[in-house]
Structure 1
């Protein structure tokens, strides 16, 4: 039995009194965090937490990675450029060259790199804008349970009704179609999409783009098969539609390979990256564009923080993980370990109607009972494990540990999760 913490909760009054009601994660994890290293966090009371959250996927390489820390400290203490808009800097040059050499060339991928702004929503907005500019069309097709961001364009292709309602205005020029298995295993969800595209009386205009996540993170850890992804790509090629893959959370090795779509053998026209591309948790985003679609006029899409030099420094160092295939193999091995552990938990509690989902270290366990996953995550926090829910009804306990986590950390975290399931049942 893993004991719960005995210490009283830290004083959260400052946040309750001074911070907006929109605050979210600090409600789920009501303590004041102070230090972090690798896959561990410590609060102001010295309590040690195992992190199965990783900044919602922004910390694939863990907290305060030593090599990145050294690079950042050296850069800061040498009088180098920190803020530069989108001017040319040495740090940007080194990142671009390294990204091309380590990521694009070995995969025989040819993309121009755009720095759209530092967030996932920024890269999605730029992708939508460019697809409409290139094709001259307005409609974008997304999928059920999709999440692409909280700004208006990204929100228009996000499925969650609660988040959409927050827009306060109509969300236009987007159509949601069924993701794989949304209509059940026996129904090919792309048959409907194909019929809509073929039929001039379907009521759907030919879209500028189709955007998708290969694994829907916020939507409930829904995994698209390679076959389904290939069929989507074929539909795009047939009708001259741009294919956009949102790899903001599933990319940077979260599913094993650097890009989550690699196993499917597809080649998107536009790729959206953010979160862990910054290496250290520093804000950064990329929009990767096939050269023939790089139709921007200079300054047509810009922003003040289009390339933070500290993020370039950390991101360049993070690419060292990708010089060989060792990191991918280790992530897949750990992912299999997590999958087997979750399946054992599901089998041990058949009354919970639990379903194991995921790829690599992007995993989850969905429960049939409403609010049960929330209870599990709350119990986990009392046992000093940070884990969040996902899915339209928060029905999934979602595991996103840093990819650098060792077997001991995985075992401890999974043991706490198992204890938390039992406690939630009680």
Structure 2
């Protein structure tokens, strides 16, 4: 199927849209398994190699910092040469980073561990940016649903990953590798497969097709001297800022609480299987409800679901703070709500970003926003370790609750501002 053929055929565009979603689904299954390794055992590996809880947030900080750089580069590459090149390179880099973590754990080399975790972060941000690939040919009423299909696909790998911690640890021991490095074996294979899936199957590139369609439409509009339509396609700066705020705040809260949960559990006598189960439920809640969330975002609106995100995350933080240390049930429930609130924020915030951007700058803007999302994750990871080391896990829960509530006034302000502008337009 040639690019020119797709540009001039609505039916070919619909077929490519469906095919692109299938490719995204396949890659996200692999990508989900890859990101689960760092989430589940990264903090424990750092604690073992470096000693002390103050360092437990370092791995998540490093791979989220690495993901910030990768988000910027993947966004720029995607804008220039398409999703296929940007996403495949990002996943392959993540796979190489996972291999480096395995070598660092085997050699007990802290410097190599830090460098490898930084590179491993490329897989995390690429896994997030892959959600955009299914939206390039979607119309406004399909965008949140398309995002949700990509997100729910991640569930299969992301839930399996934490529950394979012990089996992969046994595989690692059999190979003469420390047990905590075992999940990174899975991550390396998963990320490399995700990258190859995009490289081989995402043809023609849906983003390049969308750019060509937009260029053709603009050409036709200019020929008709319909300048009004051309102006209407400009990016909405307020919308981009609002979407970015939603993504950044929800991600910060989720990463901060999630990062310290395995350490909190281990300190109260829970083994790796219990940690894997809780994180597995958490990651399931992050991705599994996506299809329903996408439909709700398209039907009920972006603002409604952002408010739902703030409320759900604040309840999760409060519950984590008050959950009895001996109660696995309540801690699991808190982490499920944490994942669900993040899911609401991610899909609604992403939809706002797409609605507010033009195809000429969309991938670049998406990458830039994801840089700040990754930086917020880095800050959340580092601060979570410091907060728990100097106070308690409960205090961390309270901090998460207060920050989550900020989402509500932010989105209401933007919503009211947007309606005021519409009213002015109507009057004039």
User: What range is the shorter-chain TM-score in?
Assistant: under 0.3
Select the structure that is richer in helix.
Answer: 2
Q: TM-score, normalised by structure 2?
A: 0.24
Select the structure that is richer in strand.
Answer: 1
Q: TM-score, normalised by structure 1?
A: 0.24
